[in-house]
Amino acid sequence: MIHTILLKHRPKGKPSISDFEFIKEDKELTITDGEMLLETLYVSVDPYLRGRMSDAKSYVEPFELDKPIHSGIIAKVIESKNEKFSEGDYVSGRLDWKTKQVSKGEELHKVDPSKADLSAYLGILGMTGLTAYLGLTEIGKPKEGETLVVSGAAGAVGSVVGQIGKILGLRVIGIAGTDEKIDMLKSKFGFDAGINYKTTNDMKAAIKEAAPNGVDVYFDNVGGEISDAVLFNINKFARTINCGAIAVYNNTEVPTSVSVRPFLIKNSALMQGFIVSNFEDKFPDAIKQLSTWLGDGKLTYSETIVEGFENIPQAFIDLFDGKNKGKMVVKV
């Protein structure tokens, strides 16, 4: 039996279970030359998928209605007529939300379960780690001794950004939404300070207190009011990495904010959005660096693993309520 999850409706506001459709097909998958049969093991759910569920103009084509959703997946090769991959190999890449599927192996690459847990290849050694590392270094261009603020700090990308910040010699301040997360940022990931935005009345003042020398680099995973508060604390030549805007992804109207322009002008400051594939030529070096740090024990990660293929949509929806700590992965 092959299970598939389709996009049924384009979500209005926060996605709901009824936006997804589950289908079962009782069919035998056969492969021809160059193809292989894959069994899905781990599925990545990520906030950016929300954007692809809309049909608004974006950096990638929107998902089609009544077609399978796809995201980062780790799969096992169960049969292969492709010379690059053998039965028993594990592969990583963008695949459909299906329990089994046929692939030509394009844009898939092998991963080694002896070097790291398979789920890590969706996280710290996958898009998550690459997004954190390349966003921070290529756009943020941090210099030792500077101050880094990370929003969504307990999330998959945020927790890696903060750790890399520490490795690079920065003062690192994380913003998250529970005291438990703030404790984890400091105890597990080595952040210098944390701010619980849900219990802090004056975010502007709290950031100022945590960043007495001002903010040089802001890795922004959330957009929204938290980011406005950071603006008031940026230094001359500050760099903001606009990685995500989970705070406004579900808005049905165009969100407004404090105007960033006067702040950018006054501080000769930069803001830049990106998606990790902009830096595709840097992936091999970045993965090498991340693997080294991981092997040396300088990087750690947390993940929230939800069990069951049928729970993929709910795991995705839970991202918007901050229910994950670190990378959210579904184990099939």
List residues near a copy of itself by CB under 8 A.
51, 56-59, 220, 223-224, 227, 236, 242-245, 248-249, 254-275, 278
CB of 150 to a copy of itself, least distance (A): 15
Of 199 and 277, the one with the shorter C-beta distance to a copy of itself is 277
Of 58 and 199, the one with the shorter C-beta distance to a copy of itself is 58
CB of 297 to a copy of itself, least distance (A): 33
- Which tokens is 153 given? 């700090």
Amino acid at 56: A
β-strand 171-176 against 303-307: which pairing, if any? Answer: unpaired
CB of 13 to a copy of itself, least distance (A): 15
β-strand 70-80 against 90-96: which pairing, if any? Answer: antiparallel
Of 77 and 127, the one with the shorter C-beta distance to a copy of itself is 127
CB of 113 to a copy of itself, least distance (A): 33
Phi, psi torsion values for 232, nearest 5 degrees: -70, -10
CB of 273 to a copy of itself, least distance (A): 3
Of 266 and 323, the one with the shorter C-beta distance to a copy of itself is 266
Cβ-defined contacts of 58-67 (< 8 Å, 24+): 59/275, 60/275, 62/10, 63/7, 64/7, 65/7, 65/8, 65/9, 65/10, 66/6, 66/7, 66/8, 66/21, 67/6, 67/7
Of 236 and 323, the one with the shorter C-beta distance to a copy of itself is 236
